[in-house]
Structure 1
Amino acid sequence: MRPKKGQDVATRLTQLLNSPLFDAVRAEQPQSVNKVIPIFGDVTEPELGISPSDQKVLIDNVSVVFHSAATVKFDEALKLSVTINMLGTKQLVALCHRMMSLEALVHVSTAYCNCDREQVNEIIYPPPYDPEKIIQCMDWMDEELVNVITPHLIGKRPNTYTFTKALAEHMLLKESGNLPVAIVRPSIVLSAYREPLRGWVDGWNGPTGVIAAAGKGIFRTMLCNGSMVADLVPVDLVINLLVCVAWHTATTRPDGIKVYNCTTGMQRPITWKDFVGNCFNYFHKHPLRDTIWYPDGTCSTNWLLNMVGETIMHIIPAYTMDGVSKMCGQKAYMVRTHEKLKKAAECLEYFSTHQWQFTNTNVVALQDRLCIEDRREFSFDVKEIQWQSYIENYVLGIRHFIFKDPPDTLCAARKNLQWLYLLHRCVQVLGVVLAWRLVMLRSSTARSVWLSLLGVLLRFARMVPTHI
């Protein structure tokens, strides 16, 4: 753990353990939180930034390691991404080799590290480059040169994140030697399904930032193929799988590195259309307190239509609202917010317009090895997911944990949404009328077609008998 925003590691740990995430633990076993000992470190530093004395503590006492430290920014600069995702992994493995009682090292990768393949099996694929040479290149190249060659290096992969995570897996294969190592590859991780709290979510990563903005009514269109599978997985199912993988690795010591694809697309698929549609439905049922516009939107596979939609539904309203805010002496923020949302949506577009088949034979086999009690306690069976209730809790989680909206604000939020709905429909009707009027004024052909249609309707009306 490293200091952040002026807080040292002890303060950050205390803040974390006092969060709602650990309410149940503090209630049932209040002394258990005292067992957590923070270690100062930074994966961007030599030897992970861990002091010699702390290294000795780890070497003498640690038996299970979960390696989840990574930069998850899809558009991270390649140099920093290599430092964190690859060099950080290499240094951690070196530390693990010194641990006297190591039973399992579980590396958290991503299902999309091999997104240049349509079918991704539970194996480590050959890397596009030697990971060691990539690290060496980052050492002597300056940032500007690295940025220039980045598109060529990552090839068919959409970003530096998937590229470096793929190389990190192969580096793990080379560096681990006889260590008991396993790799878990989650797909798109969302809120908790059951534990510690239904719908628990605390970050804006992945689709959550875009979905939250859609709930506010300020994000309404993005490139997305609604018919394709959205491979979403609840965070608590991922954690349960990690625990079980560590147990299995420690007790069986399998030959080589076992890979586990933690995904839902093969066993419990949901399309992007259904996911987004259900999110909107539940934002209508459980609206946010300060909703700016009526939550609604579309998924488009046509970049031109999406660009037109962005202009009409994002850019023009953002500049209009900022203009009004400035005239009223208030802070303008909508244009800046839109730019951030556009960047986030662009990072997601590749994953919402493509589809993969992730095999999960090892995950299913591990589940079969568990006794009934352990299956219940450490459930990671994605076939149990009920998407309707899960998405409703996801929306409620965004409302409660992201926006901090108390339950007693729901009634007022619903009344506000009713007015926004009426305003939304009025604006739509006005837009259609203005568009029709503009076409009539500018196009003689359109006027002729309209007059001809009116003539046909009038002649048809005269033919209808007025009495029986």
Structure 2
Amino acid sequence: MDKFLHFFENKSILVIGATGFLAKVVIEKIMRVQPEVKKLYLLLRAVDSSSALHRFNTEVMENELFKVVREKYGAKLDSIIKEKVSVVCGDITRDCLGLETSILEEVFGQVDIIINSAATTNFDERYDIALGINTVGAANVLSFAKKCSKLRTLLHVSTAYVCGEKEGLIPETPLKMGEALNMTPGLNIDMEKKIVDDNLRSLHSAPENHIKSMMRELGLQRARKYGWPNTYTFTKAMGEMMLEQFKENIPLIIIRPTIVTSTFKQPFPGWTEGVRTIDAFIIGFGTGKLTCYPGNPKITLDLIPVDMVVNAMMVSIATHVHKTTPMIYHVGSSASNPISYLRIRDINTRFFIENPWMSRDGKPVIVTRGTQLPTKLAIQIYINLNYLIPIKILCVVNAASFGYFDRTYIDRSRKVKFLMRMFDLFSPYMFFSIVFDDMNMEKLKSSVNEMCGDIENEIFNFDLKSINWDDYLMHTHIPGLVKYSFKR
């Protein structure tokens, strides 16, 4: 019996953040494997309904990710979309998700499942934006869900790294309102909102670039005050706190993915979009901007292909119907199929030696093994010796030569800024040893094995043990990055 495929038949699903990386894969999956879904309500930000539909067509349906769907349905695709898809203009930072009155009652009365994948994932996002989307947005989605009369499940996509820089085994347990990771007292979400508002008022007449810079710095300051390494994980953690505090009887699932990578198999291997964490180092190394590897080479990095995240999401939805006890799932590999930072580094080096990136002048970028910087002190010494001191010397020489080396100075300054930002934002994840407990995921996987046949097991595969990391990174993920994420 196709238990999980059958579950989504004749269901109305609201996907929030429909143009995001993860949401695209969710939408593609549902359209490809369950065309008998009743309705897909896709909420995305736009100035009006016409603009929302344009974004959906250009950013979603025209994306290469949907080529299998386009091939499967051919000329029928337009009529399927017209019947099954309703693109709605909204904003999760507003009450009722900013939906127009004309669509509100329909959604309240029809939606069975809500998937909230809306987020800003920039580590140093403006604090006002991150707080609005990742924290206030989560609370607004919860309030909206309480008004949906047919709701069966609310799934909220968080991140495993709400744990901050804790080490050891991280359990699949909820975050409690106001509990700082470093035990600093006084964490209050209402107060965080007030701090944002007060700062914006004080900056109202400043240039936009200055406001942006100050709000970014404010986010990092507030995050580190309470023990989180960056604005992203801090605001996502507070979003979870809001859900835990005010969930009442809502059937809630919180999915905590680790480092999400390109598709493993579905709809085809290697599709990706944007740059996530470890990808920044892969791209930086392959294009010659990065000649070192900061971090302890012995630590485990936790990777998870995006199609496996989506498979786990869909199975968890189907098994959690009407359950009032919230469920938290770590979706990652560190417990079941770990891979070391050293191994990733060596595979990355091998790939770009065998497949060098071509620079703008048409010459191959020559890569070497790269310098390993196993401690934060080693990073600081490396930056000083190789970048900061030489750039200061170049600045003096350039001034003395009346700007003769302007172009070289600007180019090297940009490279230094790139490296400094990389080290500052990502180094917290390169030194601590962590394993994400995935017992809930293991139980979920067992339920799939027991209830489904081989075909459905393959359709909803999220067995991390089935991945050969060397083969996946060398022949799927890094080639996918080169194809979809590298900028020529």
> Contact 1:216–1:292 at 8 Å: present in 2 too?
no
Once the two structures are superposed, residues 110-142 of structure 1 have per-residue CA deviations (whole angstroms, 9 ceiling, x without a partner) of 111123533321110324266553455346532
SS at match of 2:229: coil
Following superposition, the deviation at residue 37 of structure 1 comes to 2.5
Following superposition, the deviation at residue 358 of structure 1 comes to 1.2
Q: Is 2:337 the counterpart of 1:268?
A: yes
Calculate percent identity across the aligned residue pairs. 24
Residue type of the alignment partner of 2:338? P
Decide which of 388, 413, 427 is 2:470's aligned counterpart: 388
Other-structure match for 1:294: 366
Q: Is 2:171 the counterpart of 1:121?
A: yes
Following superposition, the deviation at residue 97 of structure 1 comes to 1.1
Tell me the C-alpha RMSD between the 2 structures.
3.2
Other-structure match for 2:115: 66
Change in Cα spacing, 1:288 to 1:152, as seen in structure 2 (3 Å) is closer
SS at match of 2:300: coil
Other-structure match for 2:62: 18
Other-structure match for 1:342: 420
> Contact 1:226–1:272 at 8 Å: present in 2 too?
yes
340-349 or 125-134: bigger deviation: 125-134
Residue type of the alignment partner of 2:246? E
Q: Is 2:380 the counterpart of 1:307?
A: yes
Change in Cα spacing, 1:154 to 1:70, as seen in structure 2 (3 Å) is farther
Other-structure match for 1:175: 246
Once the two structures are superposed, residues 30-85 of structure 1 have per-residue CA deviations (whole angstroms, 9 ceiling, x without a partner) of 41444333211223344433222232332233211111111211122433322211
Other-structure match for 2:198: 141
Residue type of the alignment partner of 2:325? G
The whole-number CA distance in structure 2 between the counterparts of 1:298 and 1:244 is: 43
Q: Which has the higher helix share?
A: 1
> Contact 1:48–1:91 at 8 Å: present in 2 too?
yes
The whole-number CA distance in structure 1 between the counterparts of 2:249 and 2:166 is: 29
Other-structure match for 1:193: 264
Following superposition, the deviation at residue 9 of structure 1 comes to 2.0
Following superposition, the deviation at residue 285 of structure 1 comes to 1.8
Other-structure match for 1:434: none
SS at match of 1:389: helix
> Contact 1:220–1:314 at 8 Å: present in 2 too?
no
Residue type of the alignment partner of 2:366? Y
Once the two structures are superposed, residues 303-351 of structure 1 have per-residue CA deviations (whole angstroms, 9 ceiling, x without a partner) of 343234335656659998xx8x987989965532541343133211101
> Contact 2:289–2:415 at 8 Å: present in 1 too?
no
The whole-number CA distance in structure 1 between the counterparts of 2:306 and 2:356 is: 24
Other-structure match for 2:300: 229
What's the TM-score once normalised by structure 2's chain length?
0.74
> Contact 1:326–1:332 at 8 Å: present in 2 too?
no
Once the two structures are superposed, residues 372-411 of structure 1 have per-residue CA deviations (whole angstroms, 9 ceiling, x without a partner) of 3332111111111110111112111122112378xxxxxx
Residue type of the alignment partner of 2:467? I
Write out aligned runs for 1:18-417 (5 A): 18-30=62-74, 31=77, 32-34=80-82, 35-118=84-167, 119-127=169-177, 128=179, 132-134=189-191, 136-138=193-195, 140-143=197-200, 147=218, 150-151=221-222, 154-250=225-321, 253-290=322-359, 293-296=365-368, 297-310=370-383, 333=411, 335-370=413-448, 371-372=452-453, 373-392=455-474, 393-403=476-486
Structure 1 stretches lacking a partner, 5+ long: 406-468
Change in Cα spacing, 1:300 to 1:148, as seen in structure 2 (3 Å) is closer
> Contact 2:94–2:140 at 8 Å: present in 1 too?
no
Once the two structures are superposed, residues 163-197 of structure 1 have per-residue CA deviations (whole angstroms, 9 ceiling, x without a partner) of 22222112112222111111110111111111223
What's the TM-score once normalised by structure 1's chain length?
0.77
